[in-house]
Structures are given as C-alpha cells and as structure tokens.
Amino acid sequence: MEYQFSDRVKALKPSAIREILKNSSAPGIIPLSAGNPAPDAFPYEAIRKVSAQLLEDTPIEALQYGVTEGYAPLREHLLGYMKKKHQVGTENDDILITSGAQQVMDLLTKTLLNEGDTVLCEAPSFIGSLNTFRSYRAKLVGIPMEEDGMDMACLEKALETEKNVKYLYTIPNFQNPSGITMSFEKRKKVYELCQKHGVMILEDNPYGDLRFAGEDVPSIKSLDTEGIVMYAGSFSKVVSPGMRVGYAIGPRAVLQKMVVCKQGEDVHSNMWAQIVCHRFMTGFDYEAHLQNLRDIYSRKSAVLLSAMEEHFRPLITWSHFEGGLFAWCTLPEGTDMLGFVKRAMERKACVVPGTAFLTDETEPCRSFRINFSTPTDEQLREGVKILGETAKAM
C-alpha cells in the first residue's frame, strides 16, 4: 500500500544533524551530546522506599485510572510549593500534571495554534520544543540571544510586524542550548511587550533548580497579573526523566482546554510516578535533595570549565553559565562548524552542532553544545581535549 501522510507529517524534513548524530549512542562514544541527568543525581533510595510503600498502602490509586488533571495531592502540593517558593500561580491559575514538560509545549500549541500561526522563540532554542511547534505547522520566528537574554529590539519588532503571533517561547534559566539566564530587567520587558501585544508567554523552566552560581532571578510568571503566562515545570531534571512527570501552571481558561486535549492524547499521566513525586516532595528533605543536585552539577561544570580552559583557549570560546546542564561553545570565524563536529565525532567526541537549535537549520552558525551532566569526569576531560585538538587541526 502507498501510504498518504498528513501535510503536517510530510512537512517534517529529514535533518542533516540527525545524520551526524545517528551513531551517538555507539559503544566508545564520549556522550557530550546528551541531556540526561547524571546517574548519581537520582534519589534511588527514596524512590525505592516510597514506591514500595505506595504499592502497599494505596495500590488501587496507583494502578487504577486517574483523572486527566492529575493526582490531586500532587497538584495541591505543587501549587502551594510553587506559590510559596517561586511566587508562581495566581487565583486565576490552575495546575495540570503532564507526561513530562514536553507535553505542556504540545498541549498549549494544540490549544492556541492554527496552521501557519506564529511562535516567537529564542534563537537558538531547545530542538525538542521547536519540533513540537513544527508538528502543528507553526511559523517559527527566532529572536537572537544576547548575554542576558533575547535582543529586546528584535523582540519588539517581531511583535509589531509578525502576524498571528500566539505565544513567545522562552527558557529563562540556563537556557538549552545557550546556558544563558535572562536578566530580571529583560523578564520585565518581555512581560510588558507581550502583554501590550496580547501575546501569551510559554515559560519553560526545567533547569531553574540547578543553579550553582549567582543569584536566583524571579520567574516571568511571578510578574503575571494579567494571566498571559503559562509556566512549564518538570521533575525530569530534579527527580527522574524516565517517570515523565511535568506540569503546567497557568490561566484556568486555557488549562481547561489543555485538559480536553490531554484526554484525547493519553487520558492521564502514569499514576505511580505522580504519587512517587508527591511522596518524595513531602516525605523527604526536598530542599536538601536539590542542594545535592546543585553540588553534583557544580562539581561537574568545574571539571568542564577547567578542561575548556586548558584545551580550548584561545580558539574556542564559551558563554557564561551559572547552572543547568549545558555549555555553548563557539569556533573562530571562518571555521566549518559542521565539518568540525564530524571530525570530532570520528574521534568519538560527540557534541550537538548549533544549527540543530535554530528555527532554520541552514543558517550560518559557528557554535556547538556540550552537555556536562551525562559524561563521567574522565569522559569530559577526554572529550574536551579531542574537541580542542580538532579545532587546532582545522
């Protein structure tokens, strides 16, 4: 049979990058291209304990159907926690538990976007989210990044000239891939501009708890008096990505539509994982756990920074980062970045070419992304050494 695919699926182009990275999980590869939490960041003991306990005392709750909105005790606890700790959530907001934060991107897009409508995003931005937006045939318009977040003049111009802009997508803390944190001044400006133009903001904050330097910056959601911000949170980087538990906190009117969409996608999220997250947050010292994660990543980032100082100077530069899992590195002018990534890959050091994170993969780009959470210290040192040598050889 000759299959007839939908226009949205036909529009998904094969990626040159996928070709480069297709061997990234082969044996012997140094995995600087991933985004996995460090294996020692998982709270194994606690999860074993709460899992055994919940399967003993509330097995029906864990195994039976649940409601689409999510496990009520987790929803309630998160709303209180996020309000108290991060000033996230107003009386017009509600919370929806999702199957990972990726589903927040999917559901908001499904709820707001018609084909051809515009999504503004940071350039570069997280490829997973961009692909979700693309699957709804969004027009993606990238706003160039500066050291403290998006270029405000470009954002303002885009809001004025682009048609049918439905929302702005931003990862304000330790952005993936750039590592950049948006300044508080820019957060206020972003909120003000979007409010003026009647455009929603999708604030994606998977790494916010992983700060190991500098001071926390208030979220954009904490400024949200008008109900224009949908906040996406996730347990993937702070408890476990395999559990697939994320959440959206935002205007009730929008969330209610997202609930209907979620019902059609997966009915509700895995119950066991929702209960584990609730019991882990409430039955253990959650703040001490977060501090432990920050210590782990602080140490690993120091290993990376020291290796980059040794092997990258002066050819390869990198952006300043105060948390998260990624470093954004840039090759000298005139370097063939894709050629560099291929040559490094031949020597088993695997990084993601910066073009993967652009709204248009064919735009010029001299940057690449290094992840420091997945590789061991030894792999980090060896990988950076190979990257430095590869740059020098070119």
Window 5-24: residues binding its own copies (CB under 8 A): 5-9, 12
For residue 192, how many C-alpha atoms fall within 13 Å in the half-sphere facing its CB? 8
DSSP secondary structure code for residue 284 in this structure = S
Stretch that binds its own copies, among 58-66, 141-149, 327-335, 363-371 (CB under 8 A): 58-66
Is residue 240 a contact residue for its own copies (CB under 8 A)? yes
Q: What is the dihedral of CA 214, 350, 375, 295, to 10 degrees?
A: 0
Both tokens of residue 131?
């692909």
Query: Which parts of 73-102 interact with its own copies (CB under 8 A)?
Result: 98-100, 102
Is residue 278 a contact residue for its own copies (CB under 8 A)? no
Is residue 106 a contact residue for its own copies (CB under 8 A)? yes
Closest CB to its own copies among residues 94, 322: 94
Query: Which parts of 182-211 interact with its own copies (CB under 8 A)?
Result: 195, 198, 200
Q: Residue type at 367?
A: S
Both tokens of residue 204?
């994606």
Name 201's bridge partners.
168, 229
Q: Are 318 and 328 in contact (CB under 8 A)?
A: yes
Closest CB to its own copies among residues 30, 112: 112
Q: Which of 82, 85, 112 shows the shortest CA–CA distance to 97?
A: 82
Orientation angle between helical segments 377-393 and 286-311, nearest 10 degrees: 30
Is residue 66 a contact residue for its own copies (CB under 8 A)? yes
| Minimum distance of its own copies from residue 389's CB (angstroms) | 30
How many residues bind to its own copies according to rule CB under 8 A? 78
- The 317-318 sheet, strands edge to edge: 317-318, 326-330, 367-371, 352-353
Is residue 336 a contact residue for its own copies (CB under 8 A)? no
Is residue 177 a contact residue for its own copies (CB under 8 A)? no
Is residue 261 a contact residue for its own copies (CB under 8 A)? yes
Is residue 58 a contact residue for its own copies (CB under 8 A)? no
Among 172, 177, 233, 251, binds its own copies (CB under 8 A): 251
Closest CB to its own copies among residues 61, 156: 61
Name 149's bridge partners.
146
Among 11, 23, 26, 52, binds its own copies (CB under 8 A): 52
